[in-house]
Chains A and B, each alone.
Chain A
Amino acid sequence: MRIHPRASFESWKEVVRGRSRPFEREDREALSRLAYQLEAMHHHFELYNETKALRAKQMLQEKMLLESTIRTEVLRERELLLDSLGEGVFGVDAQGICYFINPAALRMLGYAEHEIVGCNAHDLIHNRSADDRPLTYDECMVQQTVREHRQHIQEEWLYRKDGSRLFVRMIATPLIKQGQMAGAVVAFSDISAEYEAKEQLQKLHRQLFGLIEGIPLLSE
């Protein structure tokens, strides 16, 4: 048996299916390079997003630190301002708990700061009326301020740590934060001298009128 080669070279057509335009060596190289580049880009995306998250966290921390610094500074300035006024100032929350008090107030009331901050101010320093009877919460001008959302100005007695009392003029101003009643700020000034002078004057008036009452009428 032996092989004979093809005898006819006439055109013989064959339809071929299932193939595409060929992928050449350039396509293989391009695919390989694309894989490396996308791998690097994917890594870049991951790093970028991690960095972005870290940066956002860092920025938030920086913002909080800045706000805290500003707040501290503002408080310090406010304290200085309140000190320089020579008036007593303290703040209470909606429940009447004192959350700050200035040195002038502490001096006038004879308390240390830690003895009064965190305590109910009404119970501690404002629990009796001018006629020395117990003062209820309803009657307390500070509580009224909180309840009614409006400023109250009144002359009241405040009680010192040693039990002695101090006659003051009080201005209670409601404190509203983000639309909500947060408490009140109370400023007071010592008017004891004024009160005593007034008392003295009234006493002199009474004596004077007593004398006058003792003089016989001209018609008698």
Chain B
Amino acid sequence: MVQNLLTSCDDEPIHILSNIQSRFFLLTLAPDVFDVWQCSENIFELLGASPEQILMRPLERWMGGAYMDALGTTVERLRQERRIRDNFYIDGLFCVVHLQEQCIVVEIEQCGSSQMQTMRNDITLSTFMAEETTYMNLPHLLDHIASRVLEQTGYARVMIYQFDSDYNGTVVVEKTIRLKESFLHHRFPASDIPAQARALYLKNRFRVIEDVNAAAAALLPSTNPGTLAPLDMSHCYTRSVSSIHLEYLRNMKVGASMSLSLIVNERLWGLVVCHHDRPRRIPLKQFETWHQLSMLFSIQIAHKLELIHYEKLSYLKLRRELLIESLRRYQDLPFVEAFGKVFDLYRKTLDCDAALLWYRGHLLHDMSGWSDTSIHVLLETLTPHLHDRIYLSSTFGIDFPQFHDAATAIGGVATVELAAGQMRLLFLRFEQIDTIEWAGEPKKELVL
């Protein structure tokens, strides 16, 4: 039952909730004629007309010619340049436009021209791009990003989550002002950001919740008359979020939240998460900048990860070359005998605690506490798990508890078969007893 409910939480269609944050306005328009197909229920505050008055009627009845010209130009530019989004500012309105297959989506924020003037001198992508980060290592870079985001947003807490292979997120950097509670090094379970939320973070790199207690403004009608389906809000900046997530944030004593996706190799590597203890507004104009900054941060992190990757590969390559060259020196000896001479180098090729070579029935190993019989059982147990001749596991002690005892406390195994089954290499890493500091007990409560 619990598992079913958790799965249903994963299935919640958060990209078609048909709600926006009530400080903004949203319109969906018919292509070409710009008839209003959907509007947010708060549209009267913008146009002085109720949804019933404007739905299915041309937008130009309520907007001036200059606005319609700017909108037309933006739509045409999007079509020509095949971009996802574009924006324009006119008559105190900042508008973000994006095209869907069968309709145009316009997100609008009311703001004065003086505010726009201030914002022009505000945060820019080029400011961040000009900063020298090449000398930084990854922890240093993440620290730098969190500090700069904290400084630019004015949020009370900025955290960087890094996801593991199961999408549990650990807070690797935290910067706070004012807030005493710290989440640094805490791990958040994968269920906190369910699969469909992660998919949305991949599509739309920026998400803001300006006030967790503000009522959402619904889209009317909930079904788009052009597509006969709820509006896909994946690319909308102003969309509201699931009530479960809002409750989650309130439980964390968060008043406002902003998230930037960190995407590496098309996978959600992490998030920059900003929390504020009170509601906090961010101008719609900045949304696009933060979206671009999320791309910049992702590229910078990917670059550092590539450097780490190649450094590790180079190190392992050197280790292998040392082994091979040393083996060659003993080429006058039989293979097993030669291998015995370089066994220490062999173990170090994969940075392991113990290693084994099985060659045509001969065993060479430094696995203390293991009898030859138990070694043969281990090899036979692993054989069906070889894929493309290789098997690696860092959870071996959990996956094969029969091999897990105090004398031979193994946590990880890597093995490969070669020379048409005449040879097996095996590397062991000892068990590492970890204490995970979860941010709260990692299970969801069920309430009838």
Contacts and interface: CB of A to CB of B under 8 A. Distances in A.
The 5 closest A-B pairs by CB, nearest first: A18-B397, A20-B411, A20-B412, A20-B429, A5-B248
Interface in B401-447: 401, 404, 410-412, 414, 416, 418-419, 422-423, 425, 427, 429-447
A19 B394 contact: yes
B320 A1 contact: no
Nearest to B404: A18
A37 interface: yes
Interface stretch (A28-36, A63-71, A170-178): A28-36
B444 A19 contact: no
Nearest to B359: A42
Interface string A16-45: 111111111111111111111111011111
A20 B396 contact: yes
A212 to B, nearest CB: 93
B349 A30 contact: yes
22 contacts: A3-B445, A5-B251, A6-B441, A9-B252, A11-B186, A12-B437, A12-B439, A13-B435, A15-B436, A17-B431, A18-B397, A23-B394, A27-B351, A30-B317, A30-B320, A31-B392, A32-B390, A34-B349, A37-B320, A41-B328, A44-B331, A45-B334
Interface residues of A, number: 48
Contacts of A11: 186, 437-439
Interface stretch (B42-50, B57-65, B90-98, B308-316): B308-316
Given A3-B5, A6-B441, A29 B394 contact: no
Nearest to A11: B437
B287 interface: no
B244 interface: yes
Nearest to B430: A20
Contacts of A14: 435-436, 438, 442
Contact of B316 (A8, A13, A26, A45): A26
A45 B5 CA distance: 60
Interface in B295-333: 309, 312-313, 316-317, 319-320, 323-324, 327-328, 331-332
B448 interface: yes
B412 A22 contact: yes
Interface in B180-215: 181, 183, 186, 192
A75 B129 CA distance: 94
A114 interface: no
Nearest to B5: A3
Nearest to A7: B251
Interface string A109-124: 0000000000000000
A220 interface: no
B416 A20 contact: no
A35 B350 contact: no
A48 interface: yes
A48 B418 CA distance: 19
A151 to B, nearest CB: 51
A170 to B, nearest CB: 57
A33 to B, nearest CB: 7
Given A20-B430, A23-B412, A32-B390, A15 B331 contact: no
A98 B400 CA distance: 83
Given A17-B397, A18-B411, A45 B331 contact: yes
Nearest to B319: A30
B312 A26 contact: yes
Interface in B51-77: none
A33 B425 CA distance: 12
B137 interface: no
Contacts of B332: 52
Contacts of A19: 394-395, 397-398, 411-412, 431-432, 434
Contact of A8 (B183, B251, B397, B425): B251
A2 interface: yes
